[in-house]
């Protein structure tokens, strides 16, 4: 079943040294056993052709071993009254409709502990459980850089690599900032602020839940000044430019945001840093001027000016946006074919899946997910974005292998569920809800052997545990965008910043990894470990002294 069934920027103390040099590389830190990092010598610096490398062996990618994962989520308001197959095939679209229907027919999904068939109508409060064999996408093999650790105030300042989400979301769990901080460096963290997965840069992480609540106040209250740097297409004007266009998310699947009067207020100030005539690209400083930034604010405001981020897969391709690349925003005249979200939702209630094949799904839920009536141009942009993603992920290949998943569900539930939870078979569909909603949170089941019976024929390139097709390695340069959280200023914690990324240098050599030349990178983690060891030794000595006095 779809991994998306699961529920899916910062600063130095005033007496701290200059943080532009207070950065540690951690490039040689020991990796956990669940992570594979290929030998960089396998590929020359200029040879990035994916076809020349075996899958799983790209030296610029970080890989994660596959694992079984029990999912649990609750019915969202927009799912109420709709059939489960119809919800899954239109809301998620990770795999083909045939795959989802077969999985449901096989009993892989349960609602309130009862096997759910494709025509089951979802109701308010329903809990959905299913187990999948997770194949986390690889991320770039750039380490998380620790800028500063303050144990007394309970926070850590880091620079997040692009391509890595902050916390568990969609297909990502082990490849997240919070998990990687713990697995790579042994530091348990809590998020205080967030950055988009594709965006790199400064973040503040708390060392406890209590510290997270305290540290987050300034972000929630809009007291943090946030400055970013971006590499954009074209020659950006020299003068400072302010954009105050409101923004609204109109497609959740693609995360598409457009400029529209119905959107959230957003103000961004831009100033060109340099211009790269050879590439016809500019490096621009960006500053959000409102209390809370809107989703994709900098990306969409840059596109509105006709200078989208140079490698932004969502907002900077002519195949999607045309030769103007979205300059001036999209047409807002509602399409004659469109319907309101309320009408689209009402049309779904109690109905079966209306599609006859996968390829007809492009238009199916556009009105369902948009809070406003969309123009024909906006609808076509969403369709092209979805088709582009589907072509890249080749989800139609799921038709090639049909397998029975019920055994996996039954075997894994016994390991993942607490014995204190009442057996699902004893519960009518909508009774015992308070008991069913308790129990342990989902955890990865790394050592679980595959309980699935393999098909009679397994084509090359398919997983030998769950028998699904394995996608080729992505090009590392498509996993992040040239947008970096450069500097945050707060009242409580002062100002923190990172040096400029290599791609933001005025004389860029084309290598996007690392920082601008001449940056000193001290080892913050080693210093912290030494301080912690010295503190522990002093505490042990004090305890021995107290015991000696008592004796």
Mind giving me the DSSP string for 211-271? HHHHHHHHHHTT--EEEEEEEEES---SS-EEE---EEEEETTTTEEEE-TTSB---EEEE
Q: Which helix (H) or strand (E) holds 386?
A: helix 376-393
For residues 501 and 200, is the Cβ–Cβ distance under 8 A?
yes
N-term to C-term CA, the chain: 64
pLDDT band of 26, cuts 50, 70, 90: very low
CA distance 390 to 34: 28
Question: Burial level of 117, CB count in 10 A (0-12/13-18/19+)?
Answer: middle
More confident of the two residues 356 and 156 = 156
H helices, E strands: number in the chain: 12, 19
What is the chain's percent helix, strand, coil content, to nearest 5?
Answer: 30, 20, 50
Q: Which helix (H) or strand (E) holds 180?
A: helix 177-185
Handedness of CA 453, 456, 459, 460 (dihedral sign): positive
Residue 43 in this model has a pLDDT that exceeds 50: no
**From 126, 196, 367, 473, the catalytic residue:** 196
pLDDT band of 493, cuts 50, 70, 90: confident
For residues 288 and 268, is the Cβ–Cβ distance under 8 A?
yes
Residue 494 in this model has a pLDDT that exceeds 80: yes
Residue 129 annotated to the active site:
no
Average pLDDT over residues 65-81: 87
pLDDT band of 193, cuts 50, 70, 90: confident
Q: Concatenate the DSSP letters of all residues of 467-511 into one string.
A: --BPPPPPPGGGS--SEEEEEEEETTTEEEE-PPBGGGSTT--S-
CA distance 519 to 510: 18
pLDDT band of 441, cuts 50, 70, 90: very low
Average pLDDT over residues 501-523: 88
At 368 the three-state DSSP class reads helix
Query: What is the pLDDT, as a whole number, of residue 222?
Result: 80
CA distance 126 to 137: 30
Q: Which helix (H) or strand (E) holds 534?
A: helix 524-550
CA distance 331 to 328: 9
Most confident of 12-16, 150-154, 297-301, 401-405: 297-301
CB atoms within 10 A of CB 344: 18
Cα R_g (the chain), whole angstroms:
25
Residue 356 in this model has a pLDDT that exceeds 60: no
CA distance 532 to 535: 5
CATH 3.10.290.10 for domain 61-136: yes
Task: Convert the pLDDT of each residue in 258-310 to its tens digit.
Answer: 999 999 999 999 999 999 999 999 999 999 876 667 889 999 999 999 999 99
For residues 140 and 62, is the Cβ–Cβ distance under 8 A?
yes
More confident of the two residues 347 and 80 = 80
Helix axes 97-105, 84-91, angle to 10 degrees: 150
At 202 the three-state DSSP class reads strand
Residue closest to 154 by CA, chosen among 80, 203, 98, 211: 211
- For the chain, the domains span 61-136, 139-332+366-392+475-508+522-531
Query: What is the pLDDT, as a whole number, of residue 452?
Result: 61
Task: Convert the pLDDT of each residue in 196-225 to its tens digit.
Answer: 999 999 999 999 988 898 888 888 888 889
Q: Concatenate the DSSP letters of all residues of 289-337 into one string.
A: -SSSPPTTHHHHHHHHTT--BTT-TTTS-HHHHTTTTTTT----SBPTT
| 334 phi, psi to nearest 5 deg | -55, 140
Among the ranges given (12-21, 133-142, 467-476, 499-508), the one the predictor scored with the smallest mean pLDDT: 12-21
Token pair recorded at residue 73: 């989520």
Task: Convert the pLDDT of each residue in 217-256 to its tens digit.
Answer: 888 888 889 999 999 999 999 999 999 999 999 998 788 9
How much is the mean pLDDT over the chain? Answer: 78
44 Cβ contact partners less than 8 Å away, ≥ 6 residues apart? none
CATH 2.40.30.10 for domain 139-332+366-392+475-508+522-531: no
Tell me if the pTM is above 0.95: no
Query: What is the pLDDT, as a whole number, of residue 464?
Result: 83
Query: What is the pLDDT, as a whole number, of residue 218?
Result: 83
Residue closest to 302 by CA, chosen among 378, 358, 233: 233
Query: What is the pLDDT, as a whole number, of residue 538?
Result: 84
């Amino acid at each position: 079943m779809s991994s998306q069934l699961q529920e899916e920027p910062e600063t130095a103390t005033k007496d701290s040294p200059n943080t532009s040099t207070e950065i540690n590389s951690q490039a040689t830190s020991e990796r956990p056993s669940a992570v594979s990092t290929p030998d960089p010598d396998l590929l020359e610096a200029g040879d990035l052709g994916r076809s020349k490398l075996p899958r799983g062996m790209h030296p610029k990618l970080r890989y994660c071993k596959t694992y079984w994962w029990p999912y649990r989520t609750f019915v969202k308001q927009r799912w109420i009254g709709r059939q489960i197959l119809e919800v899954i095939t239109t809301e998620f679209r990770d795999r083909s409709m045939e795959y989802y229907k077969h999985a449901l027919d096989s009993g892989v999904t349960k609602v309130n502990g009862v096997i759910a068939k494709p025509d089951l109508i979802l109701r308010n409060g329903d809990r959905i459980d299913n187990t999948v064999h997770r194949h986390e996408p690889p991320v770039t093999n750039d380490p998380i850089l620790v800028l500063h650790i303050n144990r007394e105030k309970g926070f850590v300042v880091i620079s997040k690599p692009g391509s890595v989400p902050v916390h568990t979301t969609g297909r990502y769990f082990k490849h997240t900032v919070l998990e990687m901080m713990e697995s790579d460096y042994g530091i348990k963290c809590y998020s205080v602020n967030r950055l988009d997965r594709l965006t790199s840069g400064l973040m503040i992480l708390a060392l406890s839940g209590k510290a997270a609540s305290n540290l987050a106040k300034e972000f929630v209250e809009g007291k943090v000044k946030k400055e970013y740097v971006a590499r954009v297409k074209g020659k950006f004007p020299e003068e400072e430019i302010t954009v105050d266009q409101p923004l609204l998310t109109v497609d959740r699947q693609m995360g598409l945001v457009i400029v529209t009067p119905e959107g959230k207020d957003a103000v961004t100030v831009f100033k060109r840093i340099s211009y790269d005539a050879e590439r016809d690209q500019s490096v621009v400083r960006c500053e959000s001027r409102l209390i809370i930034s809107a989703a994709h604010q900098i990306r969409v405001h840059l596109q509105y000016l006709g200078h989208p981020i140079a490698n932004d897969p969502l907002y900077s391709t002519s195949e999607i946006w045309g030769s103007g690349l979205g300059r001036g925003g999209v047409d807002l005249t509602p399409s004659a074919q469109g319907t309101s979200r309320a009408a689209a939702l009402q049309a779904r209630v109690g109905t079966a899946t209306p599609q006859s094949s996968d390829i007809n799904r492009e238009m199916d839920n556009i009105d369902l997910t948009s809070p406003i009536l969309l123009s024909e141009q906006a609808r076509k942009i969403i369709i092209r974005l979805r088709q582009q993603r589907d072509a890249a992920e080749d989800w139609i290949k799921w038709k090639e292998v049909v397998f029975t998943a019920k055994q996996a569900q039954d075997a894994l539930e016994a390991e993942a569920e607490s014995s204190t939870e009442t057996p699902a078979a004893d519960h009518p569909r909508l009774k015992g809800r308070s008991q069913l909603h308790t129990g342990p949170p989902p955890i990865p089941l790394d050592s679980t052997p595959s309980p699935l019976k393999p098909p009679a024929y397994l084509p090359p390139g398919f997983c030998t545990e769950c028998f699904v097709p394995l996608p080729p390695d992505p090009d590392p340069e498509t996993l992040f965008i040239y947008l970096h959280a450069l500097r945050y200023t707060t009242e409580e914690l002062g100002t923190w910043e990172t040096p400029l990324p290599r791609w933001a240098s005025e004389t860029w050599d084309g290598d996007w990894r690392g920082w601008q030349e001449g940056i000193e990178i001290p080892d913050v983690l080693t210093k912290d470990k030494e301080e912690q060891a010295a503190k522990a030794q002093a505490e042990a000595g004090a305890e021995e002294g107290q015991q000696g006095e008592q004796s």
